[in-house]
Structure 1
Amino acid sequence: MKIPCPYLLFAGYLFYSLAFNTVKADITKVELASLPPFCQARMGNDANLKKKWSKILGQSNFTWMNHFCSNLIAKKRCFAIIQKQKRYKCYERLTDHSYTLEHTSSNFPLRPLIYYEAGDTFMKIEEYGKAEIQFINAIKANPKFSRPYISLSKIYAKQGNETKAIDIIERGLIKKPSSKALKKIHKKLIK
């Protein structure tokens, strides 16, 4: 039996809208538990946690984190999609983290993480140029945050530029010499 095209389009729209329109009501307990603590506070129902994280991050910044936290959940849901083409379309919709960045202060302590997550999403859909920009922004926002250095090295290695991959890891080690993850990657790259 052939399904008419309009029905397929509607089914696709319905599927993607369910993946992206993450609201508090449809977040499972497992999804909530997988989020960083500030997202658990923002998306959960614990008033004391909300108060605590609002104080730590600032009320205005904390208010806008629901967009970022919803994106983290939607990203995990996208990853569960088996078909590569559908997964790509799903991730493509998640690449705009600018809303949270526009509504939070420039010195917001989670800004590096937001840039990093944007870069990670671009990396998953193989948009390496866009991923590189986001990882560099994350490093500029917090030079001691090791994950963007590691992700940049993966991009450079994937592009066949081992010299650049080693260089970015060494730059990370200058900023955070205690990072076990950076040391481990550096050891692998120089072999």
Structure 2
Amino acid sequence: MFEIIERFHDQLLDNYEFTSVCVEEIFYDDILKELFEEANPISGLRGCNVENGDTANLFNLAALQSPIICYRYRNHFRVVAGVFTLNMIRKGIAQRHVHSDYKVPVFILSKKPIGLVRKHIIQFDLTNMLLTKCFISDTKKISFFLHAWFEKDQGKRSIYQSKEWLSLFPNLDTTEKVSNFLSISKKSL
């Protein structure tokens, strides 16, 4: 299992292109949809309206700071990372700050990764945003998202000892370490 993921990481920088894609041509990957059915972090975001400046340039800057990563699928693209950036740009389109045919800079993987690798990418993107950007501070909500996105291995005490979790966050292998990292109480985590 991990050999496949390691091979993907070893070859990643040789197997992508950077280009602009119309936002309307980007759809969620099937694995991302499944995780969102369990726990959709977009619902936990604060609503705000972008009012100032050249919004298109701000969206381009956001797409470079938190890149969108896709792969080609039939006549469109499927996103595996950069979901929060994509959501922000879609919101900007809905609020008419940019046109519906707006093109956003994206990284396109040269081929569709296998399901295990796609899940790995998606879990890292979502969890990294949750842990480092702290868009949610409620311990119970953080716990809800993490437990929905990661499976607890049989015989392990928590998701923090699962193979999925440890492949992404090997230094955060206990509830206490995760709560200390987030500076929150471990009671509900």
Q: TM-score range by the shorter chain?
A: 0.3 to 0.5
Greater strand percent: which structure? 2
Greater helix percent: which structure? 1
Q: TM-score, normalised by structure 2?
A: 0.33
Where relative contact order (Cα < 8 A, 6+ residues apart) is larger, the structure is 2
